[in-house]
Amino acid sequence: MKKIIKTICLLGASAMSLALASCGGGESDKIVIDFWHTFGDKAESSLQTQVDKFVQKIKTAEDVDVEVKLTYKGGYSDMPKMITTAIAGGDSPTIAVAYPDHVADYIKLEGDAAGKYVVNLQDFIDNPETTFGTEAFLEDNHSIDDFVDAFIDEGRHYTREGMYSLPYMKSTEIMIYNANIVKAALPFYNEVYYGPAHDGAQLFEGDIASFLNEITWDDLMDYAQVILDNKTTIAPQLDVPVLYDSDSNLFITKLFQNGVDYSSIDPTTKKGIIDFETGDNRAQAEALVSKWKQEYDDGLLTTKGVKGEYGSNYFKNEETVFTIGSSGGSGYTFPEAGSFEVGIARVPTDDVSNAVYVTQGPTLTMLTHPRFSATKAAQLKNYAWKLLKFLTSTNVNVEVSCNGSEGYLPVRESSYTTEIFYEYIENGGDYANVAITVQDEIAGAYLNTAVFPGSATLREQCGGIVTNVLKLGSNITATFNQAISTTKLDIA
């Protein structure tokens, strides 16, 4: 998919002359915000529309000419490499899409020079003149308390005090299932599992949706076993009942759900700690991986790391029944209309009393660079902050999330009470069902991990543990040792 730099520029004749005059040397007076992103065409187009509005609002209210360059930089894994190279070359963007783990690595590049590259957004939040809710002309009408708690909290888990990233659109993991196959398996499930466990009572077809939102992971494996045992009759194309899109999320989420410590930051050294490196945490973590290995060997479970591709195609081809992945990418999973009935549920948890889930989706960070003079850097940061406030304002954020994405959700509480959101829920079809599941069933039960130099490596290595043990049959203890050793090389 070809991407181009999109430029929005409103310059009066005098400002244009000034900009041209400055080309011979020194800094231009033009305010140019370089915005690097990872969005597909739909989300990029939606962002483009809002940026156009922002530029016009600034011109009208402040008579300031702003140019915003939207530049596609590939996927999430591509962005940190490009940012690191750009910082070294003195050409970093003003705003970038980032995972918090990546922001931690940008902070690491600063050494002891805090703020050299990554802007502490807390400075704007603490300033009564620039904080949230202070510029009505930008539709900035609510305080920071209006953000969904877990979403805004994500930006505060760094080794340095402050806030270094801001949520833009968010998602979590959900389970999408083939309702036709699930219903066809119901009589067999009743006979083998549900009936005997409930004194002969039956699970009725009309109760399946609520049932799947309440079951545990072990219950899911039971249902998967019934489907596998009867595949010839009810699912002839079946390859594997359950396909999990993220090996690392499987590892991290299940640790949290089982009360196993994952990672933290040493309060004295500010270095990252791998909490499951030794002791009971290590033993429990290895036991969980061993359990998934057995489920894999039994033909019930596989992952993207094993298959080499997301579960969407397997699902649409009816080769898997339950696919677990990001709500933000749910649009890629829905089959053609009429192919089969789709159901959506929260991912079954290991412990119903500790049902927590990862947060995902685009986060924005603001960058600066010593190449700018103090005056120019302050100008850029000021207008970049205004843009961040505008993009996360109530109506703008619900618009880009509901009408400009593939299933992401707004980051503001007030966005969920807008007419746009109500209409989306009323007429959004499968997308609306995703939103309802996230809002009503997961209901804000999110987990946030510590973010430090090396946390991205830890996440990657945890996914590798799952992949290597399931796919290659690698020794579990040796695989853990290797992953931990590799991660510790990157922990600063």
Does residue 231 or residue 20 have the better pLDDT?
231
**DSSP code at position 372:** S
Dist. CA 101–CA 452, nearest whole Å: 7
Residue 215, in any domain of the structure: yes
Q: Is the pLDDT of residue 388 over 90?
A: yes
% residues pLDDT > 70 (the chain): 94
Q: Kindly state whether residues 341 and 457 are assigned to the same domain.
A: yes
pLDDT digits (tens, 9 = 90+) for 292-348: 999 999 999 999 999 999 999 999 999 999 999 999 888 889 999 889 999 999 999
Confidence of residue 12 (pLDDT cuts 50, 70, 90): very low
CB of 447 closer than 8 Å to CB of 484: no
The answer as to whether 181 is a domain residue is yes
Q: For residue 334, what pLDDT is reported?
A: 93
Q: What is the helix (H) or strand (E) element at residue 291, kind and residue range? A: helix 279-297
DSSP 334: P
pLDDT in tens, 198-233: 999 999 999 999 999 999 999 999 999 999 999 999
Give me the mean pLDDT over the 376-388 stretch.
97
Q: Say whether both 350 and 379 belong to one domain.
A: no
pLDDT above 90: residue 403: no
User: Cβ contacts of residue 190 below 8 Å, gap of 6+?
Assistant: 202, 203
β-strand 357-358 against 446-447: which pairing, if any?
A: parallel
Find the mean pLDDT for residues 454-463: 95
Indicate if 303 and 388 belong to the same structural domain.
no
pLDDT of residue 250: 98
Same domain, 387 and 485: no
Q: Is residue 440 part of a domain?
A: no
Distance CA 155, CA 170 (A): 13
Distance in angstroms (rounded) separating the CA atoms of residues 380 and 270: 30
Confidence of residue 29 (pLDDT cuts 50, 70, 90): confident
Instruction: Decide: helix, strand or coil at residue 244.
Output: strand
Q: Which residues contact 149 (CB under 8 A, 6 or more apart)?
A: 444
Q: What is the mean pLDDT of residues 78-85?
A: 94
**196 and 151 inside one domain:** no
Among candidate residues 252, 273, 278, the one with its CA nearest the CA of residue 488: 273
Q: Are residues 339 and 351 in the same domain?
A: yes
Residue at 334 is within a domain = yes
pLDDT greater than 60 at residue 243 = yes
Tokens read off for 127:
């300033």
Q: How many C-alpha atoms does 150 have within 13 Å on its Cβ side?
A: 19
* One domain, residues 349 and 369: no
**406 has pLDDT over 80:** no
Long-range contacts of 108-116 (CB under 8 A, 24+ apart): 108/453, 108/492, 109/84, 114/160, 115/368, 116/368, 116/369, 116/370
Question: Sign of the C-alpha dihedral, residues 467, 472, 477, 481?
Answer: negative
Q: Are residues 167 and 177 in the same domain?
A: no
How high is the pLDDT of residue 187?
A: 98
Strand partners for 31: 66
Q: Are residues 201 and 297 in the same domain?
A: yes
Question: H or E element: which one contains 388?
Answer: helix 374-391
How does residue 290 score in pLDDT terms, banded at 50, 70 and 90? very high
Residue 355 belongs to domain spanning? 173-359+447-490
* Number of domains within the chain: 2
At residue 22 the predicted structure's pLDDT band, cuts being 50, 70 and 90, is very low
Question: How far is it, in rounded angstroms, from Cα 165 to Cα 198?
Answer: 49
pLDDT band for position 23 (cuts 50, 70, 90): very low
Backbone dihedral region of 63: left (phi > 0), alpha (psi from -120 to 50 degrees) or beta? left
Cβ pair 320, 243 in contact under 8 A? yes
> What's residue 465's pLDDT?
98
Asked whether residue 118 falls in the same domain as residue 223, the answer is no
Q: What is the pLDDT of residues 147-199, one digit of tens each?
A: 999 999 999 989 999 999 999 999 999 999 999 999 999 999 999 999 999 99
Is the domain of 180 the same as that of 164?
no
224 and 137 in one domain? no
CATH code: domain of residue 286 = 3.40.190.10
**Which pLDDT band, with edges at 50, 70 and 90, does 249 fall under?**
very high
Four-point Cα dihedral 197, 202, 205, 211, nearest 10: -30
